Amino acid sequence: MSLAWRTLDGVFFDQSQPFKSGPIGTGAAKQIVEQKQKSDKLIGFASNEGSPDYVWVVAAGTRTGKQAGWTTQVYAVAELSDSNLFNDGWSGSDSVLPNNMQAAKWGRPGRGEGIGDDVEHISFMMSIDPNDIRQGDLGDCWLLSTLALCAEWPQFLPSLVDSTSLSVEGKYVVTLYDYGSQQSSQVTVDDSIPMSSGESPAFVNLTATGETWPTIFEKAFARLAGGYQNINGGVSTFAMGMLTGCTDLLTLQKQKDDSWQCWSNVFKSSNPQSSDNQEIKSCPWPDGTPGDKGKSIQEVLKFLEQWDAQNYLMCAGSDGGTNAEKSPDGIILGHAYSILQVKTEVAGTDVSLLQMRNPWGKSDFHGDWCDSSSLWDEHPDVAEAVGHEPSTTGEFWIDAIDVCSNYSSLFVCKKNMGPNHSKTFNEQQVDSSCAEAGVEPPSIKPGSQPASPGWLCSRGASVPFCGGSPDGCNIH
């Protein structure tokens, strides 16, 4: 595989968690990346024109931002070849597509077949950001929203692939949990994907910067499930388990009286449409009481705070409806939101808050404790305790009452993922290293230029729980 260096002007990497930083020069930085590219999945480094010898070396998955004066250099495949291409023996057949769908053709991105050919530098996996996902004409937002949630841990998804570099032969290996065999499985796919008549991917698209990883993950799920038709509808916990290998999965469901019950799915097949996956059982609450005993939202938030401290994967499903609709508080209906932090009785008050994130990269929430709320000025102790800052990347704080009035499901994967990006973004580290370099730190956080919103449930419809329909999709 031939790798070469390429330069991205006006682009910087998140500097809060570098593999190495300091005044070591670009030559030494290149040597480090070239030596550690495979073992540590290093991708490149960033520097500033004010101190070009001071560099930040980072691993694949590190978020990027755009600002003049910064330069990023990445170590990537120099050129794709059409010879000796890998064929997984599965692609190219309409039998693996939903019944009423037919691909115009199958194509390989960046190889002159109509997908990604207009991208200056196509890549597989460089920067991981929740805004990367752009859904196509398949009801798999239950999967795509979970991928966006996992992107809150930028180094996690790269750990599931054999290499983060673009494959010259078009061969990728993704590690997923197989519910059928009850063990991790190495799913091998080629890069050929179904195309629409408009010379674009029929299903999930490349990222806005030309990365192919969403198409490869979607295809790996489809292959393990037995076809794209089998991932056309599903549940968030199903995707959580397949990505993490954790089968301790909880669904907290709101009842008509606004109490919450705790349930657990039992999955026995990697085909989410299989009748083997219909079993749902009551699961005890953390305090030992039966799961079918209703809990108040205040009690539920106490449990969520415990799980947050253990860095569990958590998200919330908003009340039913279409993605074209919003609740009176501005919450998109039928949509999945990442849960980033949970704080109860903040600063000794009776205020309990969740920090959530819309994977579309923007927040229209305008209830209590939204960014423009006067409550932050009225309660500076609460603002200081949670570290509140107005967000441009979809994060917002919401209290217990508004959680209960806007969301009907909470999903928990009881795997310690380590601190997410919201917890690990260390502004002091950025300021300190930039001060050492003698340059001004970036005025914007990495990841603050989201892709165009609208990727999730782009057809604006929903389907029944665990169902599947080309006319809609299901985040639950």
Catalytic residues: 141, 335, 358
Residues with Cβ within 8 Å of 26's Cβ and at least 6 positions away in sequence, in order, are 45, 47, 52, 53, 55, 73
Helices (H), 18-119: 25-36
Whether 109 contacts 152, CB under 8 Å:
no
How many residues make up the chain in this entry?
A: 476
Residues with Cβ within 8 Å of 329's Cβ and at least 6 positions away in sequence, in order, are 365, 366, 367, 402, 405, 406
CA neighbor of 60 nearest in space, from 190, 146, 149, 165 = 165
> CA dihedral in degrees (144, 149, 155, 160; nearest 10)?
-40
Give the type of residue at 298: Q
DSSP 245: -
Pairing of strands 280-282, 193-195: unpaired
How far is 334 from 324, CA to CA, in rounded Å?
A: 9
